[in-house]
Structure formats: C-alpha cells, structure tokens
C-alpha cells in the first residue's frame, strides 16, 4: 500500500524543539521553531446557549500559531477542540472506559487542519454531556458554563504527537437538557486490501472496502457499541488490513505483526495480513477487547481462521420487490478477480416499498427479515424465505449482502 505521509513531514517532525543554527550556517537555512500558544477567538454569542432550542452550530475560529518551522519545509499542525464543564482539563472523558470517575473534560472526535469556521453541534455537545455525567431528568442542571480550548500538535506517520501547545480558554454559558439516550451503533471496522473487493486499497464502499458485520444475538455496549463483529469470505493471500474509519488518515488500523497470527493496533509500520493459503476464512474482531490495547501493541482481539463450512459460488444476486414487479434488478459482485461472496447495489426506494435479496433468475435462494435501525440506515440478519423487507423512509440506499452469512446492510446515501 502507499505511504501516507511525505518525507518532508517526517523530517520536520523528527525534532520540533527549538533549533539554533551552527555558526557556519547562513540566515537563509531552514530554522525549526516551536510556538508556545495561539489565540482562540471569542465567538459572537450573547447570553446563554440553549442546547435544546439552538439549531445553528456554535462557530469557533482561532489564529494559526507561529509556524512550527519556516522557509522551505512548512509543517501543518492538527487541532483538537477540548471542552471542560469545570475548567480544569486534568482528566479526559473516555466513552469506551468502564470508569470515568474524575473526568473533567472531553475531546471532540473530529480533528481539524485549520481554525476557519469550525462548527460545534449543540445537540452533539448535549449528548456528550449526558454521557459524561449520566444526568437524569431531575438532575440535569439549568445552566452550565463550558470552558473551551484548542490543542495543536504535529503528528508523524505513526500518529505520535510533537510540539503540543494549547490556546487560551474561553467560556460559554449553556443550558443542557435531558433526553433518553439512544444506544450507540455497533462499532464497525472496514476490510481493505489486495484480497478485498477490487483489491485497489481505495476507500469506495463495496467497490474497494467491505464493512465487518454484526453478529445475531451478540450483545453490544450501549455507550460505545463495542462487541464481536465478523466477516466470512474468500482470501487469496495477497494481503489486507482493517481500518477503524475511512476518513481518519489511517489513524485507526490493524495490521500484521512479526508473522501471520499476530496483529498490531494503530502501527503505521505493521505489515499486511496475509493468510498462509487461499480459501474461505472467518475474520472476527472484538472491538471491546481491542479498545484495551494501546497503540503499536499486539492484540488478540482479531482472529483470522479458516472457515469450517462450505459456500456455494453464485453467478448472480438480485434485489426483487414491489418496486420492480418482483423481477430481478441485479447486484454487482464486490470481487471480480476471485471467488466472490459479497454483493452491492445502489437503488432509490419509496417509503413502503417491499424488498428481498435473491439469487438472480431463481427463488431457491432468497433472504428477507426484520430491519434493525442504525444511524445511517438499517441492517438485517437475512432469513431464508423470510418476511419482505419494508422500506420506512424514501431515499437512495446502498445495499450490501454477504451470501454466506446472509447479512444485509442498507446505507442511506
């Protein structure tokens, strides 16, 4: 796979403490500098922000700190927004931790490359506060000051941070509110690599990457959505990895350690996972166990083992339903260069449409069931000759289907 970071960045972050020139250097040589702070601007807000009634985002802006270096090798820092209800910033809240006693600030999941028009969702802020404090309808405060600061640092190819500095702190008065928390979506990682889909290492869902699948009757943590996920399919031995997200620059990933069977978390230098022989494999990832491993540490949360069942290789799959007179609208195989068991299609549906997944040209193999909702669509554990799938909301959906597990996922486009 391709190297993500340019060599100039790697060289620049090798040491971000103040460098001084040797007496033989001239003034035009690059000089690495270490800024000490930068300015977080006061937003144009009057009075208390009602987190329930305010629909417009809270906009933050900040100045770019003095460049970490100048002349020929600029380094772009990464920014994190940190928010504290106490103003202390001593212990970060971790949504995945079992015990957050003493936590007094939280970090927004999103990172930023500049301080231009950074928007905070009032609804998301309120949700995080509810998770952090566990308020009930009786204990949620009428008013709560939030202290906000911005952290800046430069990250290398392994996501180590250098030159950490902080902005000034601003305080916004907010009015939080109570609402019943919806259980978190199951945490889903993505398969990518030479063995996966088209083998291109690209980030297009279904064409290049395939999501792991939830497991029927598996219990998932309501706060973090963690638990066991799986995928069953053909691996040719060309190599693959797992990614935690497709938009994080490979910050969350799992690769191979010293040999097949050892797997390493968040190590950009880890190898591709290569099975010893081509065939059907079952990949299982326990995201709850994975959360306990540190970066660059080996983890037993991932297992890759030969599949002990058999699987028919189908020449075609289709969606069929009330929208096409119960005919066949054929799906596309995710893998075309080797044995395929994953299929996809993007299709527009109206509310009330009924759907099934079936073998193209035959009803001998078909899957239906009852949808489970998640934030970006629905999924279902397909049942042979099961009930028709009923679309609740008009829209365009990407449908993914695994013909071994019967798992069906609808992603709202």
- Write down the pLDDT at residue 154: 86
Give the integer Cα–Cα distance in Å for 256 and 246. 19
In this structure, what token pair is assigned to residue 141?
Answer: 């405060």
Q: Are 412 and 396 in contact (CB under 8 A)?
A: yes
Give the integer Cα–Cα distance in Å for 289 and 145. 35
Q: Are 400 and 211 in contact (CB under 8 A)?
A: yes
pLDDT in tens, 92-115: 998 777 788 899 999 988 888 888
- Write down the pLDDT at residue 295: 94
Give the integer Cα–Cα distance in Å for 243 and 197. 15
- Write down the pLDDT at residue 108: 87
Q: Are 241 and 253 in contact (CB under 8 A)?
A: yes
Spatial CB neighbours of 202, under 8 Å, sequence gap ≥ 6: 208, 209
- Write down the pLDDT at residue 389: 97
Spatial CB neighbours of 278, under 8 Å, sequence gap ≥ 6: 234, 235, 236, 237, 338
Look-up of token digits 């799938």: 389
Give the integer Cα–Cα distance in Å for 288 and 225. 9
Spatial CB neighbours of 149, under 8 Å, sequence gap ≥ 6: 40, 82, 84, 89, 166, 167, 168, 169, 170
Q: Are 285 and 326 in contact (CB under 8 A)?
A: no
Give the integer Cα–Cα distance in Å for 255 and 243. 9
Spatial CB neighbours of 108, under 8 Å, sequence gap ≥ 6: 80, 81, 82, 83, 120
Hey, is 290 helix, strand or coil?
Answer: helix
Listed as ranges, residues in the chain with pLDDT below 50 are: 1-30, 70
- Provide the b/e sequence for 59-83 (b: ≥16 CB within 10 Å): ebebeebeebbeeeeebebebbbbb
- Write down the pLDDT at residue 160: 87
Q: What does the DSSP assignment read for 344-359?
A: EEEEEE-TT-EEEEEE
Phi and psi based region of residue 129 (left: phi greater than 0; alpha: psi -120 to 50; beta: remaining): alpha
In this structure, what token pair is assigned to residue 358?
Answer: 């079936």
Q: State the virtual CA torsion across 344, 195, 288, 182 in degrees, nearest 10.
A: -10
- Provide the b/e sequence for 244-262 (b: ≥16 CB within 10 Å): bebeebbebbbbbbeeeeb
Spatial CB neighbours of 134, under 8 Å, sequence gap ≥ 6: none
Phi and psi angles of residue 123, each rounded to the nearest 5 degrees, phi first: -65, -45
Phi and psi angles of residue 289, each rounded to the nearest 5 degrees, phi first: -70, -35
- Write down the pLDDT at residue 24: 44
Q: End-to-end CA distance of the chain: give it in Å, rounded.
A: 28
- Write down the pLDDT at residue 325: 97
Q: What does the DSSP assignment read for 355-390?
A: EEEEETT-SSSEEE---EEETTEEEEE-EET-PPEE
Q: Are 164 and 152 in contact (CB under 8 A)?
A: yes
Q: Are 369 and 387 in contact (CB under 8 A)?
A: yes
């Amino acid at each position: 796979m391709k190297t993500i970071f340019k060599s100039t960045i790697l060289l620049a972050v090798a040491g971000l403490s103040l460098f001084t020139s040797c007496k033989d250097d001239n003034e035009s040589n690059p000089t690495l500098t270490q800024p000490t702070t930068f300015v977080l601007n006061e937003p144009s807000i009057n009075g208390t922000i009602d987190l329930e009634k305010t629909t417009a985002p809270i906009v933050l802006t900040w100045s770019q700190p003095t460049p970490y270096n100048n002349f020929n090798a600029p380094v772009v820092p990464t920014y994190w927004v940190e928010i504290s209800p106490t103003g202390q910033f001593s212990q970060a809240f971790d949504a995945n931790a079992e015990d957050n006693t003493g936590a007094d600030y939280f970090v927004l999941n999103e990172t930023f490359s500049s301080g231009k028009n950074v928007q905070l969702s009032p609804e998301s802020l309120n949700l995080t506060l509810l998770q952090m404090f566990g308020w009930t309808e009786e204990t949620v405060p009428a008013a709560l000051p939030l202290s906000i600061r911005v952290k800046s640092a430069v990250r290398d190819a392994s996501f180590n941070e250098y030159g950490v500095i902080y902005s000034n702190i601003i305080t916004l008065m907010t009015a939080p509110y109570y609402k019943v928390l919806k259980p978190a979506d199951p945490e889903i990682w993505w398969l990518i690599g030479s063995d996966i889909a088209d083998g291109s290492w690209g980030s297009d869902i279904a064409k290049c990457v395939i999501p792991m699948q939830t497991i029927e009757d598996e219990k998932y943590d309501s706060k973090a959505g963690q638990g066991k996920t799986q995928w069953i399919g053909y691996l040719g031995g060309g190599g693959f990895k797992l990614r935690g997200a497709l938009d994080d620059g490979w910050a969350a990933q799992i690769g191979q350690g010293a040999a097949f069977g050892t797997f390493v978390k968040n190590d950009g230098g880890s190898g591709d996972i290569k099975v010893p022989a081509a065939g059907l494999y079952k990949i299982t990832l326990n995201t709850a166990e994975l959360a306990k491993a540190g970066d660059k540490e080996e983890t037993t949360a991932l297992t890759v083992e030969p599949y002990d069942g058999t699987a028919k290789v189908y020449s075609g799959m289709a969606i069929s339903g009330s929208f096409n007179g119960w005919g066949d609208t054929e799906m596309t195989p995710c893998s075309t260069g080797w044995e395929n068991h994953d299929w996809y299609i993007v299709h527009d549906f109206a509310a009330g449409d009924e759907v099934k997944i079936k073998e193209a040209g035959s009803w001998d193999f078909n899957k239906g069931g009852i949808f489970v909702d998640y934030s970006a669509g629905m999924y279902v554990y397909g049942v042979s000759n099961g009930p028709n799938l009923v679309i609740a909301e008009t829209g365009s959906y990407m449908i993914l289907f695994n013909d071994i597990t019967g798992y069906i996922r609808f992603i709202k486009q």
